[in-house]
Amino acid sequence: MIKLLSWNCRGPGSREFFQSFKDLCSLNKPDVVFLFELRISRAKAARVSMSLGFNSTVRRDPVGFSGGIWVLWHSNRVQLSQVAAHAQCLTFQCSLRSGVRWFVSAVYGHPNAMLRSLLWSHLNALTLPSGSPWMLVGDFNDYAFSSEVLGGVFSAARARTFNDRLNGLDLLDLGFSGPSFTWVRTVRGRRVQQRRLDRAVANSEWRVLFPEASVIHLTRTYSDHHPLLVNLSGETTVPSVRPFRFEAIWLSHPSYGKVVMESWRHNPSEFEQWLTGVQATSQRFNKEVFGNLFRRKRHLLGRLGGIQAALAVAPSSALASLEAALLGEYRSVLAQEELFWYQKSRQQWIA
């Protein structure tokens, strides 16, 4: 089933951003991606989208302090046709291969309340076919309840206005799992404000169409916003037993030849036993040599997710310091992983 990733990644397309974004896509395999406040050239954006396998893109370039919106999707899995555009919102008709059609809006609400009201004027003026399923996802730059604010001042009037705007369009919050807040403001390593500014909302027709849809606040590794993953099926990934598959990258390691020769030495005359031995030793070799890096990354993401969930409940300078240290370690692992794959591609090119 289709998965959508929404992320306010804030700022220029640095090397750290691209490493984090590639890892997000690798881990979650989204079919559609909405990025906000990313300031990169069209040429660079095209290279990035192609390198990640996204063969279709739409961009709304930043204007002044307006964040800009970048949409990427796999056209072999889903078709998006733009039906409306605004500086703070892009709306598409989404067509699945099953023939199901619905509408989705990528939303970036302006930080200024007066300018943000223009977004809602635009949404109210949209002329979608009557009864159309409609989902909106992104950074609304608004909160609905006092429980969505930690630190700073909660404005009941602001929350009431936001709820009135949602109710006026018959939009329901899709809920979430993961950390309670999606945005954090840090001063000298200490969290001083946290908000739930990013969310997914939909009308009742969309909820009927996708009753099992779920929203996850993913671990924050770059930017001050958590990415959101919308899974239309609500399914979680269940690990499965993979059949043995030879990996060409093993040949790039100087020790792999010894692995094969050792298996042959133990079973010089029985081909099937030798093959079974090669499979077992190859899998062990892969786990010990190449698995450590990826296992370490998964471990770091798990620890970061737990720390961020705890910080969303109660601030802690010790946990905040640990989070900063783990984020640095995670980015170091991403850099090592990038070098690992670069070396592999170079070895294949030379061969």
CA 246, CA 251: separation in Å to the nearest integer? 10
Are 252 and 222 in the same domain? no
What pLDDT score does 240 carry? 38
Are 36 and 129 in the same domain? yes
Are 217 and 286 in the same domain? no
Are 80 and 216 in the same domain? yes
Domain assignment of residue 273, yes or no: yes
| C-alpha separations of 107 from 37, 110, 153, 232 in Å | 11, 10, 24, 18
Tens-place pLDDT, residues 91-136: 999 999 888 999 999 999 999 999 999 999 999 999 999 989 999 9
> Residue 329, by phi and psi: left (phi above 0), alpha (psi -120 to 50) or beta?
alpha
Q: Which residues contact 73 (CB under 8 A, 6 or more apart)?
A: 31, 32, 33, 54, 56, 57, 80
Are 215 and 304 in the same domain? no
Are 64 and 122 in the same domain? yes
CA 14, CA 44: separation in Å to the nearest integer? 11
Are 220 and 297 in the same domain? no
Are 67 and 183 in the same domain? yes
Are 163 and 195 in the same domain? yes
Domain assignment of residue 174, yes or no: yes
CATH number at residue 23: 3.60.10.10
The structure's pTM equals: 0.72
Domain of 284, in residue numbers:
248-350
* 199, 231, 263 - which closes a domain: 231
Domain assignment of residue 238, yes or no: no
**Predicted confidence pLDDT, tens digits, the chain (351 residues):** 799 999 998 766 677 888 888 889 989 999 999 999 877 777 777 777 777 888 898 988 876 656 689 999 999 999 999 999 999 999 999 999 888 999 999 999 999 999 999 999 999 999 999 989 999 999 999 999 999 999 889 999 999 999 999 999 989 899 999 999 999 988 877 778 999 999 999 998 998 899 889 999 999 988 899 999 999 985 434 333 445 555 555 565 667 777 777 776 666 666 666 667 777 777 777 666 656 677 777 778 888 888 888 788 777 777 888 888 888 888 887 877 776 666 555 554 444
Are 44 and 87 in the same domain? yes
